[in-house]
Amino acid sequence: MKLSIDSGNSLAFFLVPVLLALISARGAFSQTADNSLIAARVDGFEIREVRVEAYLQRTVPGWPLAKEQQPPARAAAAEHLIKRQLVLASLRLAGLGSTPTELEWKRDELRAQLQRVGKTLNDHLDASNLSEEELRNDMDWELAWKKYLARTLTAERLEQEYRAHSRDFDGTELHVAQILLPAEPAEAQTDGLARAEQLAQRLRRGELDWNSAVRGHSISPSRERDGDLGWIRRQEPMPEEFSRTAFALIEGEISAPLASKFGVHLIKCLEVRPGKLQFGDVRDEVYRVVMEAEFRRLAAEMRPKVDVWVRPRN
C-alpha cells in the first residue's frame, strides 16, 4: 500500500478540521497513545503523540494499518505535523499570524456549531483530547494558512506555473525505462551514485547500448523487459522523485543518477506522448501542486531557524 502523509490531495488536507471533523456523529477518536507522550517539540510547542494518532485516523483510510506499516506511518504523520508547525512559525514571522480578535471570532464560530449539535466547547475539548493551547494553535494555523494561500496562489501565479511546467499538468505521458543499480543506504549518495554516473557516461558516449547495460547491471524485475516501465504521467504512478526526474528528460535522454530506498536509478525517456489539457481543465491540480510546494518550501526554510526536537522511534 502506498502511503503518503507529507503531501495532501486538497487544501482540506492541510487545514485542521477544528470546526467539523471532531463534532460529527462518529464522536471521539479512538485513543491508543499515551496522553502525555510527546512526539516532537517545535520552537517550544509540544506535539503530543495522541495528536499524531488522531491525525492518522483522519487522513489514512482504514487506519490502523497492518502492524509493520504503523511505525513508518506514525513517523511520517509526526513529520507532517512538525512541518505544519514550522510553516505556522514562518507565517507568524511574516506577520500573518492571527490577531486576538480573529481567534475569538473563530472560537465563537466553533461554539455556535457545537451548540447546534447540543455540545459545549468543553465537550469538544474533552472528546477530541485537545488542550486550550492546542485549540488556539490549530485555529491560528487554519487562519494564517488561508491568508497566505489567498495572497500567494493568485490566478496569475497559477497560470504562470502551468505555462512553466505544462508537461506536468497537460496530460503528457512518457514511455520510460530504467536501470536500477544496487546501493546500500550509506553509499547511495557516494559510491553508488559515482558508479551509476560512470555507467550513464558510457551509455551517452555510445560505448554500451541500453539493453546490454540493463541485462548486465539492473537488479529490477523490469530487466526482463530491457528496463521498460511503460507509460507514466507526472502525478502517477511512480514516486514523486522518480516522476520529477523523468519529466525533465527529452525523448532519448538518460537521467543523472537518482538515489532512492531501492538503490540508484538511471531513467531513460523512450517516447513522449504530448498532452492536450489546458489550464482551465487542470486549475485545481495546479493549485494543489503549488500549494504543496509552498508548504514544503516554508517548512524547509524555517527548520534551521528554530529548535526542533523529535522523539526517537524504535
Give pLDDT, residue 15: 44
- The CATH class of 11-156+293-310 is mainly alpha
Which among 57, 53, 50 is positioned nearest to 26, based on CA atoms? 57
Q: What angle do CA 99, 102, 107 make, to 5 degrees?
A: 125
Block residue for cell numbers 495522541? 50
Show the 3-state SS of 258-292.
EEECCEEEEEEEEEEECCCCCHHHHHHHHHHHHHH
Closest by CA to 141, choosing from 102, 108, 176, 198, is: 102
Angle between helices 279-302 and 70-93 (to 10 degrees): 80
CA distance 134 to 131: 5
The cell numbers describing 152, all together, are 500567494
291: which 3 cell numbers? 500549494
CB 72 within 8 Å of CB 85: no
Give 98's DSSP letter: P
Element counts in the chain: helices (H) and strands (E): 12, 7
Cell of 310: 523529535
* Cα–Cα nearest to 169, from 156, 160, 182, 177: 160
- Kindly calculate the radius of gyration of the chain based on its CA atoms and give it in whole angstroms: 23
271: amino acid identity, one letter: E
Provide the pairing of β-strand 173-181 with 38-42. Answer: unpaired
Q: Which residue is associated with the grid cell 543518477?
A: 257
pLDDT tens for the chain, 314 residues: list them.
Answer: 334 444 433 444 444 333 333 333 334 444 555 678 999 999 999 999 999 999 999 898 988 888 888 998 999 999 999 999 999 999 999 999 999 999 999 999 999 999 999 999 999 999 888 999 999 999 999 999 999 999 999 999 999 999 999 999 999 999 999 999 987 665 555 677 888 999 999 999 999 999 999 999 999 999 999 999 999 999 888 888 999 999 999 999 999 999 888 889 999 999 999 999 999 999 999 999 999 999 999 999 999 999 999 998 76
- Every domain range in the chain assigned CATH 3.10.50.40: 173-273
Say whether 198 sits in a helix, a strand or coil: helix
pLDDT given for residue 260 in this prediction:
87
CATH number assigned to the domain with residue range 173-273, chosen from the 4 options 3.40.50.11260, 3.30.1120.10, 3.40.630.30, 3.10.50.40: 3.10.50.40
Other Cβ atoms closer than 10 A to 87: 24
| Burial of residue 62, with CB atoms counted within 10 A of its CB: 0-12 exposed, 13-18 middle, 19 or more buried | exposed
Which part of the chain is CATH 1.10.4030? 11-156+293-310
Q: Where are the beta strands (DSSP E) in the chain?
A: 38-42, 45-48, 173-181, 228-233, 258-260, 263-273, 308-310
Cell of 58: 483522519
- Assigned C-alpha cell, 94: 511574516
Q: Calculate the alpha carbon distances from 273 to 23, 67, 135, 226 in Å.
A: 47, 41, 49, 20
C-alpha–C-alpha distance, residues 226 and 55, integer Å = 42
